[in-house]
Structure 1
Amino acid sequence: MIVTYITNANDECNTRDSRPPKQGLSACGLIGHQLFFHQVVFCAALPDNTRMQVSSKVITGFKNVLLVDYLAARFPYFSAKKWAALVTNGRLTHNGQTATLATRVRQGDTIIYHMPDPEPPADWVVPIVYEDKWLLGVNKPAGLRVHSQGKFIAENLIYYLRYQHQPPFPDVNLVNRLDIHTSGVVVLAKDKQVLRQLSADFAAGQVTKTYLAVVHGQPAPPSGVIELPLARVPGTKTARQQVVGAGEGKTAVTHYQLLETLGADYALLQLHPQTGRTHQLRVHLAAIGHPIVGDGLYQLNDEDYLHWLRNGRSPQQMPLIQRQALHCAATQFTHPVSGHPCQLEASLADDMTQLIDKLSGN
C-alpha cells in the first residue's frame, strides 16, 4: 500500500524527493491513516496545489463484499455513512475505475482513496523549551494533538514541527505523548538511536515527570500515594479507563502533593506518575473523589461527554475551563548521549493561570 501525491490531475504520481523511500507510518504526518499502510513513500512538505492519495489492496477473507461495507469494517476511523459520502463524491477508485455504491470487492483488488485538499496550516504557538543536536523539547498547547489521528492529518504537533515551524525539524519523533487537552512538556528525538534509548528510559520508569492539576475538593491527607490498577471500561464509546480490583488490569501508581488551596472548594496539586498508564492521573484523582477541573470524560457519562465534544464544549457543562486543568510542568531524565542530568520545564498555560487566579479570588 502506497501513499503518493499529485500536483495536477493529469500528472503521474511522483515523489518530489530524491532520497530512497523510508518505511514507517509517520511520513507526511499520516499516522492517523495507519490501517491503510504496508509502505509509505516519504515526501517533504507538500506544495499548496498538492493532493495525496492512499492505495490499499483488499485483504484475505473478503469476497464479493460491498466496497462501503469493506471500508467501514477495515478502516473504522470513518463511519459507513462517511465512506458512502466519499464514494458518492468520487473520492475512491476500484481497480482503476471510479467506485460507486454498488461496487463490490474481493481479495487482491486495489482501492485508492483520493484525499481532500490539505487542511489549512495550523495556527499554533509552540514554544521551544530545549534543543540540542539530538533532542527537542516543546511546551505543547492544549487542543493540539501530538500526532495524526483519523481524518486529522495536519492539525498535530509532529506535522507542525516537521513542515510548518520555522526552521522546520524534519526528523523529529515523539519520545513521550500528552492527551490533546493536556498542555506542557513533550520530548522529541532528532536521532533514531537516541529515540530508542530515551523511549526505553521512559518505559522503564527512569524519567521523572511533574504535573500540575487543579482539582475539585482538597485532598486529605495533603500528600500521599494512589495505587489503583486500571483497565479500559468494556463497551465504552470513548477511551474511558476505570479502577479495577487487585490482580486485574495494569498496575498504576501516582504520587500527589497539595501545593495550594483555592478557595473553599478547589486545590492545586503537584503530581508525579510512577507509571504511565492511559489517563492515569485523571482516573486516579477522580477515583479518590478529586476529579480534575474541566475533565469531561471523567465527570460526564459517555453520551453527555460525546455531546459535549460535538457541540463545542458547552460552558454550561464545564463553566470554569474548557479542557482538563492538567499541565506537564517538568520532565527530568539522563541525557542519552552526554549522560548529564537534563530537566525540561514548561510554564503554565494562560487558561490554567487564569483559572487559579479566579478560584483563589485574585
Structure 2
Amino acid sequence: MAVELKTVTQDEAGMRLDRWFKTHYPDLSFGHLQKLVRTGQVRVDGGRAKTSTRLDPGQSVRVPPMGTDPSQDSVGGAEPAGAGGAGATPGDARAPGAGEGAAGRDRTKGKTNEDLAFLKSLILYEDKDVMVLNKPFGLAVQGGSGTYRHVDGLLESMRDKDGQKPRLVHRIDKDTSGCLLVAKSRLAASVLAKSFRSREARKVYWALVPGVPKPRQGRISTYLARDEEEEKMRVARHGEDEASHAVTYYAVVDQAAQKLTWLSLKPVTGRTHQLRAHMAHIGHPIVGDPKYFDIENWELPGGLQNRLHLLARRLIIPHPRGQGVIDVSAPLPPHMAQSFAVLGFDASQYDPILEAPEG
C-alpha cells in the first residue's frame, strides 16, 4: 500500500482522528495507530497530530503504508521465502507484474482508461473546478476493510499533468444513489467544504418508506452517536460522549394507500446515516435498509427489490469561484425507478421540501 492523502468530508466534521481511522480502517489496532501517529507517519494538513485531534472538513489526512501490526511482526531476523532467504537469488522478490515490461504497463493503462470511461459515464455536471457524479447503488465512496473498488480510487484515473487528483467534498453511503460532489483542486475543495459547514449547501433526498408519517411534513431533531457493537448510529441523549445534534426535514410527496410513502428529505446537518437513523426513529425506516429497517413481519410488496430506496436527488451549492450556483439533480436508480412504476409515482413531481422552513 502506498502513502495516501484522504480528504476529510463534511459529515466527518469534529470526528477524532482515532475514530476516523477506525471508520476507514477497522482492522487497524489502536496500538499500531498510536505508533504511526507518534512517529509522525500520520499527519493532518502536513502537520503532526494526536489520536485525539478533532478533524475539520477539507483537511487532508496522510495515511502511511499500514503493513502489519508491529505486535505480529516476525522476530529473530527470519525472512519470508522469496525475499532473500535460502535459495533466493538477487531480484527474486518482485512486485506482481514486475518484469512483464510493456504487457504489464499496457494492462495498467487499460485499467486506468476503463476507470476513466466509467467515471465519465457518471458525470451529471462538470466545469474546470468541480464535478457532480451520479453515484450508482453499491459503489462505495471511499475504501475500507474489504472494499477495493470505490470512487476515491477510481479518481486516480483523473490525475492531471501536475499529479493533482480530484478530491471528494462529502460522502454518501455505499447503497445510496445520486449526487456526489467532487472538487478538482485543493482550493475548490476547501471552499466547497466551507459551504457545507456554513449550511449554504442544500441537499434533497428521495426515499420510500412503509406507512405514512404523521404529520405529513415535519422536523426531526435528535442527537446521534455511533453504536460500535451494531456498527450503526443510534439516538443518544444531549451531552452523551461523541453525540452530535442532527436535524432533518421531511415531507410526503405521494403515497400508495397506507402501505408505502414517497418522501422528500432535507438534512440540515450531515451526520453519518442521519436520514436512515431518523426515519427509523419515527417508525418509518427506509425500504431495503439492511441496518435500520426494524419492522417485524413486514413483507416487501411484489415488484419491488430489497435494496436501499434512498436517492441523493438534488444538490444546490454556491460555485467555489462565486460564479452563481451549482444546481444538479440525479435520476432515479433502476431499482427505485422500478418501484415508482409499480406504485404509480410520477418522478417529475414537485419537491415540497424545498419550501420547508430552514433549520
Report the TM-score when normalising by structure 1. Answer: 0.63
CA displacement, residues 136-156 of structure 1 (integer Å, 9 cap, x when unaligned): 111100100112222323x11
Alpha carbons of structure 1 residues 58 and 244: separation in structure 2 relative to 1, 3 Å: closer
For residues 227 and 242 of structure 1, the distance between their equivalents in structure 2, rounded to whole angstroms, comes to: 13
Root-mean-square deviation (CA, aligned residues, Å) is: 4.2
For residues 68 and 233 of structure 2, the distance between their equivalents in structure 1, rounded to whole angstroms, comes to: 35
Alpha carbons of structure 1 residues 335 and 265: separation in structure 2 relative to 1, 3 Å: same
For residues 195 and 218 of structure 2, the distance between their equivalents in structure 1, rounded to whole angstroms, comes to: 25
The answer to whether the 8 A contact 2:209-2:284 is kept is yes
1:351 and 2:346 are equivalent in the alignment: no
CA displacement, residues 244-276 of structure 1 (integer Å, 9 cap, x when unaligned): 234432111000010000243100000000001
Q: Could you list the runs of 5+ residues in structure 2 that have no partner in the other structure?
A: 8-22, 44-63, 83-92, 98-103, 347-359
Q: 2:79 aligns with which of 97, 107, 114?
A: 97
Instruction: Report what 2:245 is aligned to.
Output: 251
For residues 134 and 276 of structure 1, the distance between their equivalents in structure 2, rounded to whole angstroms, comes to: 23
Letter in 1 for 2:325: P
Instruction: Report what 2:89 is aligned to.
Output: none
Alpha carbons of structure 1 residues 25 and 224: separation in structure 2 relative to 1, 3 Å: closer
1:335 and 2:319 are equivalent in the alignment: yes
Instruction: Report what 2:233 is aligned to.
Output: 241
For residues 227 and 69 of structure 2, the distance between their equivalents in structure 1, rounded to whole angstroms, comes to: 32
The answer to whether the 8 A contact 1:24-1:39 is kept is no
- In the TM superposition, 1:1-362 aligns within 5 A as 3=2, 24-25=5-6, 38=41, 56=67, 62=71, 66-67=72-73, 97-98=79-80, 126-153=121-148, 155-163=149-157, 171-236=165-230, 238=231, 240-248=232-240, 249-299=243-293, 320-360=304-344
The answer to whether the 8 A contact 2:304-2:338 is kept is no
For residues 94 and 189 of structure 2, the distance between their equivalents in structure 1, rounded to whole angstroms, comes to: 32
Alpha carbons of structure 1 residues 224 and 32: separation in structure 2 relative to 1, 3 Å: closer
For residues 292 and 142 of structure 1, the distance between their equivalents in structure 2, rounded to whole angstroms, comes to: 15
The answer to whether the 8 A contact 1:163-1:170 is kept is no
Alpha carbons of structure 1 residues 55 and 183: separation in structure 2 relative to 1, 3 Å: closer
The answer to whether the 8 A contact 1:293-1:320 is kept is no
Letter in 2 for 1:139: N
Letter in 1 for 2:197: A
CA displacement, residues 85-122 of structure 1 (integer Å, 9 cap, x when unaligned): xxxxxxxx99782079xxxxxxxxxxx99789999877
Letter in 1 for 2:123: I
Letter in 1 for 2:275: L
For residues 198 and 317 of structure 1, the distance between their equivalents in structure 2, rounded to whole angstroms, comes to: 41
The answer to whether the 8 A contact 1:260-1:267 is kept is yes
State the Cα distance separating 1:191 from its structure 2 match. 0.7
Higher RCO structure, 1 or 2 (CA under 8 Å, sep 6+): 2
Percent identical residues? 28
For residues 247 and 235 of structure 1, the distance between their equivalents in structure 2, rounded to whole angstroms, comes to: 21
State the Cα distance separating 1:348 from its structure 2 match. 1.3
For residues 113 and 268 of structure 1, the distance between their equivalents in structure 2, rounded to whole angstroms, comes to: 55
Alpha carbons of structure 1 residues 250 and 172: separation in structure 2 relative to 1, 3 Å: same
For residues 286 and 143 of structure 2, the distance between their equivalents in structure 1, rounded to whole angstroms, comes to: 26
How many residue pairs match? The answer is 269
Alpha carbons of structure 1 residues 350 and 132: separation in structure 2 relative to 1, 3 Å: same
State the Cα distance separating 1:320 from its structure 2 match. 3.2
The answer to whether the 8 A contact 1:229-1:250 is kept is yes
Instruction: Report what 1:18 is aligned to.
Output: none
Alpha carbons of structure 1 residues 57 and 259: separation in structure 2 relative to 1, 3 Å: closer
Alpha carbons of structure 1 residues 161 and 25: separation in structure 2 relative to 1, 3 Å: closer
State the Cα distance separating 1:24 from its structure 2 match. 2.3
For residues 215 and 247 of structure 1, the distance between their equivalents in structure 2, rounded to whole angstroms, comes to: 31
